[in-house]
Amino acid sequence: MSSGLNKPLYVRIQEYIAELILTGKLAPEAKIQSEREFSEELGVSRMTVRRALTELVSEGLLERRHGSGTYVSKPRVTYESVELVNHIQAMQERNIASASQLLEFDEIVASRRLAEQLDVEIGAPLYRVVILRFANRVPVILERGFFPCSRCPNLEEWDLEKTSLFDLLVDVYSADLARVSQTVEAIAANETVAQQLRVSEGFPLLKLNRTIYNATNSKPIEYSQDFFRCDYARIHMDIELIGFEKRAQNQKEHHANIMLTEIERRASEV
């Protein structure tokens, strides 16, 4: 364990264990020593060890399993927000072995909610596609997509387990994809999603709602709900703040001018 005498003892222990994990000396899903064993090995109190382990759990490097112990967490894949439209390509770029299983493919009529999302008439025919994505043979993403039949005709003719839906939209249907609207929320897997994703009911997931728009007519060509296992994926967003403070200051000045005008108006009435 490095000296770093200017750091609190629990931080030095935290960095020591993190180094074991990041260098591969502690492999993913390996069970680590108990607090007592670490305490005896390092010559520190169990309370100090417990605080260091708690910090590592908070960072996601360790996970506690009730009644079993503390384990090294499985590494997560970090997706850039723009990569979420094409999971297959994102996996290939990371040299992750990927595979797909088509769980459902049918033609349905648009409900009011789907009609609003896809800008079609209620009752319009839609393709409904449910695909399970695997990474290194582990099921990690459940995709549930809806496509207007009029904008993606004969979608059933394609092998959707071997062909990227994103590539089909661009290469086959000549979609000039202009804009993607996405929202991400944390949810617990319900019974249906848990069975399809092969996890336990209540398992923590990230749910991504996505609408892709065609530049040619500004119409949505796809609405999807993707479910990511929280122990597999995390999402990174890089936000440019240049000019942000100036805009905020302009907004404050605008509100201040409105308030001053209102005060002057009231004064004149008196």
Beta bridge partners of 130: 104, 144
Structural domains of the chain in order of their starting residue, each with its CATH number: 9-72 (1.10.10.10), 77-236 (3.40.1410.10)
Question: Is there a contact between 27 and 74 (Cβ–Cβ < 8 Å)?
Answer: no
Instruction: Give dist(CA 17, CA 53) in Å, integer.
Output: 8
Task: Name the pLDDT band for 96 (thresholds 50, 70, 90).
Answer: confident
Task: Name the pLDDT band for 131 (thresholds 50, 70, 90).
Answer: very high
Question: Is there a contact between 118 and 111 (Cβ–Cβ < 8 Å)?
Answer: no
Mean pLDDT for all residues in the chain: 86
**Least confident residue range of 103-117, 139-153, 168-182:** 168-182
